[in-house]
């Protein structure tokens, strides 16, 4: 993909997309603010969430081993995957060992991150998404553009068109109202749920002390996937572990309020290994690294691993609201994507190198983040790394020139005087790469006399 400015150009010109994004993000934003405002101890909850995540990340090796032991004790099998290829290989092998050629899926960022659906398709296994928004994305041969609402860029009329085109069982007189669309999806998915023998999920949290996995969702599709099939495979990033159930309690309050703007999400499913006569007979947990340990090694950037994927930062971001999610070229769009993707993938591609600049640094993302990730600080740190990694030549040259100018007082004074004399010849629009700056900003007028000279003249020669 091209760098973020080019990748976002089409979205910025698409007025329908901007209308959809604005309407959806402002609605969720309002709901979040209302339910967060109900709690007197929100600041304390937020601080507790941050502290629990930090302590867990500091001792991640210990908690992961504790988790593995607990899952194994409960009858599950733990697999460790260093990267996407290994995780995909493990999951494909497990599915093929069951003899099945299809799986049902619970919405999962981790499996999107590793491209699991495509990897399974290459092995002859069809993966069916069961979350409504993910289903819309999959049927539309599209990409998710929001963490919580992957089809946020689609409106009802577009969804109706996709259903009529891709769902043979959809009624031909399907209306574009939410109830009719949800009912069509429900009927379409029912057969899949009842015939599926293997399910693939992610998890919002993993409790180390008991080996329990937790999924929060709104539609009940997750509950069906987690309980009906005979084999359940969960692919989860290693940063999703929390030490105890008491720790989990904090996140069960922070997450629903921050994501859907609800006091409590409709379905919270938990499962621990296997239980004879109840739920899947086989359970596999694939613990995914895929760049997370190198993020953990970075003192500034590691706070991104605190993220609980609530999407509150997306809903308040002025850049995301205009550019949409596709321009970020990753399953993690918006402010969290701008700091997580370049850390997970590196800064080598034009897109990943430009992502730390996809922000105004206004700080709205930090204000709403339920685990207090200081996204602006990580962005600034990543910008320095992006410059060091190459690219941004104009910026580097500009900074070098500024250092040369500002490092000697006499040099700066002379430059100011010269600029004052030549002020009539300074163009309103800069040439070359500088044009990108003046296209959207006015150059401030250069004063005839600098402050330094004015001071010296009016204070009898005293230096400023």
Alpha carbon distance 169, 184 (integer Å)? 8
Stretch that binds ligand SF4, among 240-248, 311-319, 321-329, 393-401 (CB under 6 A): 311-319
By CB under 6 A, the residues from 32 to 71 that bind ligand SF4 are none
Number of residues that bind ligand SF4 (CB under 6 A): 14
Q: Closest Cα to residue 295, out of 234, 373, 370?
A: 373
Please identify, using beta-carbon distances, which residue of 200 and 254 lies nearer to ligand SF4.
Answer: 254
Which distant-in-sequence residues (6+ apart) come within 8 Å of 375 by Cβ?
A: 313, 335, 336, 338, 339, 359, 365, 366, 369
Residue 76 is given by DSSP the state -
Q: Using CB under 6 A, which of 370, 378, 382, 383 touches ligand SF4?
A: 370
Q: Using the rule CB under 6 A, is 336 a contact of ligand SF4?
A: yes
By CB under 6 A, the residues from 258 to 277 that bind ligand SF4 are 258
Q: Using CB under 6 A, which of 308, 327, 358, 378 touches ligand SF4?
A: 308
CB of 205 to ligand SF4, least distance (A): 13
Q: Using CB under 6 A, which of 81, 307, 355, 382 touches ligand SF4?
A: 307
Cβ(166)–Cβ(139) under 8 Å?
yes
By CB under 6 A, the residues from 202 to 261 that bind ligand SF4 are 258
Strand order in the sheet with 198-201: 77-81, 282-288, 231-237, 198-201, 102-105, 126-129
Q: Using CB under 6 A, which of 369, 379, 382, 386 touches ligand SF4?
A: 369
Please identify, using beta-carbon distances, which residue of 213 and 336 lies nearer to ligand SF4.
Answer: 336
CB of 370 to ligand SF4, least distance (A): 6
Please identify, using beta-carbon distances, which residue of 229 and 237 lies nearer to ligand SF4.
Answer: 237
Residue 395 is given by DSSP the state H
Please identify, using beta-carbon distances, which residue of 159 and 316 lies nearer to ligand SF4.
Answer: 316
Alpha carbon distance 383, 396 (integer Å)? 11
Q: Report helix, strand or coil for 257.
A: helix
Stretch that binds ligand SF4, among 94-102, 160-168, 269-277, 304-312 (CB under 6 A): 304-312
In sequence order, what DSSP letters do the residues of 123-182 get, joined into one string? TT-EEEE-SHHHHHHHHTT----SSS-TTTT--HHHHHHHHHHH-TTS-TT--SSHHHHH
Which value, to the nearest 10 degrees, does the dihedral of the CA atoms of residues 139, 237, 351, 122 take?
A: -50
Please identify, using beta-carbon distances, which residue of 200 and 313 lies nearer to ligand SF4.
Answer: 313
Please identify, using beta-carbon distances, which residue of 273 and 370 lies nearer to ligand SF4.
Answer: 370
Stretch that binds ligand SF4, among 60-68, 79-87, 365-373, 454-462 (CB under 6 A): 365-373
Stretch that binds ligand SF4, among 52-60, 68-76, 274-282, 367-375 (CB under 6 A): 367-375
Packing angle of the helix pair 132-139, 178-195 (nearest 10 deg): 90
Task: Spell out the SS3 assignment of 318-336.
Answer: HHHHHHCCHHHCCCCCHHH
Q: Using the rule CB under 6 A, is 312 a contact of ligand SF4?
A: yes
Please identify, using beta-carbon distances, which residue of 192 and 383 lies nearer to ligand SF4.
Answer: 383
Which distant-in-sequence residues (6+ apart) come within 8 Å of 369 by Cβ?
A: 312, 313, 375
Please identify, using beta-carbon distances, which residue of 280 and 334 lies nearer to ligand SF4.
Answer: 334
CB of 148 to ligand SF4, least distance (A): 9
Please identify, using beta-carbon distances, which residue of 112 and 210 lies nearer to ligand SF4.
Answer: 112
Please identify, using beta-carbon distances, which residue of 170 and 216 lies nearer to ligand SF4.
Answer: 216
Cα 65 to Cα 50, 109, 176, 210, 339: the distances in Å are 22, 23, 49, 12, 28
CB of 261 to ligand SF4, least distance (A): 13
Please identify, using beta-carbon distances, which residue of 71 and 310 lies nearer to ligand SF4.
Answer: 310
Checking DSSP bridges between strand 198-201 and strand 102-105, what pairing results, if any? Answer: parallel
Cβ(365)–Cβ(316) under 8 Å?
yes
The vertex-463 CA angle with 459 and 464, nearest 5°, equals 85
CB of 281 to ligand SF4, least distance (A): 35
Q: Using the rule CB under 6 A, is 311 a contact of ligand SF4?
A: yes
Q: Using CB under 6 A, which of 114, 373, 379, 382 touches ligand SF4?
A: 373
Cβ(203)–Cβ(190) under 8 Å?
no
Q: Closest Cα to residue 101, out of 62, 74, 128, 81?
A: 128
Stretch that binds ligand SF4, among 13-21, 81-89, 192-200, 309-317 (CB under 6 A): 309-317
Residue 174, burial from CB neighbour count under 10 angstroms (0-12, 13-18, 19+): middle
Report the interface residues with ligand SF4, using CB under 6 A. Answer: 258, 307-313, 336, 368-371, 373
């Amino acid at each position: 993909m091209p760098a973020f400015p080019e990748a976002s150009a089409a979205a910025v010109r698409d007025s329908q997309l901007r209308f959809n994004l604005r309407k959806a993000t402002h609605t969720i934003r309002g709901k979040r603010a209302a339910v967060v405002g109900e709690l007197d101890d929100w600041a304390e909850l937020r601080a507790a969430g941050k502290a629990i995540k930090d302590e867990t990340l500091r001792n991640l090796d210990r908690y992961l081993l504790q988790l593995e032991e607990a899952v194994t004790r409960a009858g599950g099998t733990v697999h460790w995957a260093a990267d996407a290829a290994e995780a995909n290989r493990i999951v494909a092998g497990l599915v093929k060992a069951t003899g099945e050629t299809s799986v049902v899926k619970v919405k999962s960022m981790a499996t999107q991150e590793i491209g699991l659906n495509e990897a399974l398709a290459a092995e002859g296994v069809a993966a069916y998404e069961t979350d409504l928004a993910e289903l819309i994305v999959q049927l539309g041969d599209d990409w998710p553009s929001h963490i919580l609402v992957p089809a946020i860029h689609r409106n009802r009329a577009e969804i109706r068109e996709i259903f009529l085109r891709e769902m043979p069982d959809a009624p031909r007189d399907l209306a574009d109202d939410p109830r009719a669309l949800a009912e069509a999806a429900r009927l379409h998915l029912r057969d899949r749920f009842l015939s599926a023998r293997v399910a693939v999920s992610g998890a919002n949290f993993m409790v180390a002390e008991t080996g329990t996995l937790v999924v929060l969702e709104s539609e009940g599709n997750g509950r069906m996937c987690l309980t009906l099939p005979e084999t359940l495979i969960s692919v989860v990033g290693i940063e999703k572990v929390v030490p105890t159930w008491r720790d989990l309690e904090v996140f069960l309050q922070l997450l629903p309020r921050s994501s859907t703007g609800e006091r409590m999400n409709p379905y919270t499913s938990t499962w621990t290994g296997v239980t004879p006569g109840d739920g899947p007979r086989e359970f596999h947990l694939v613990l995914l690294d895929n760049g997370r340990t190198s993020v953990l090694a970075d003192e500034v950037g590691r706070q991104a691993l605190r993220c609980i994927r609530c999407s509150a930062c997306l809903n308040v971001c002025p850049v995301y609201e205009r550019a949409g999610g596709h321009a970020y070229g990753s399953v993690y769009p918006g402010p969290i994507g701008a700091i997580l993707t370049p850390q997970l993938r590196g800064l080598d591609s034009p897109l990943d190198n430009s992502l730390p600049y996809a922000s105004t640094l206004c700080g709205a993302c930090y204000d709403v983040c339920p685990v207090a990730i200081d996204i602006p600080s990580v962005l600034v740190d990543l910008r320095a790394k992006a410059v060091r990694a190459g690219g941004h030549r104009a910026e580097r040259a500009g900074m070098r020139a500024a250092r040369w100018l500002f490092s000697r007082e006499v040099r700066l004074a002379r430059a100011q005087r010269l600029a004052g004399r030549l002020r009539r010849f300074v163009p309103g629009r800069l040439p070359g790469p500088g044009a990108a700056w003046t296209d959207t900003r006015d150059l401030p007028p250069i004063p005839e006399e600098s402050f330094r000279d004015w001071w010296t003249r009016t204070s009898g020669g005293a230096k400023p």
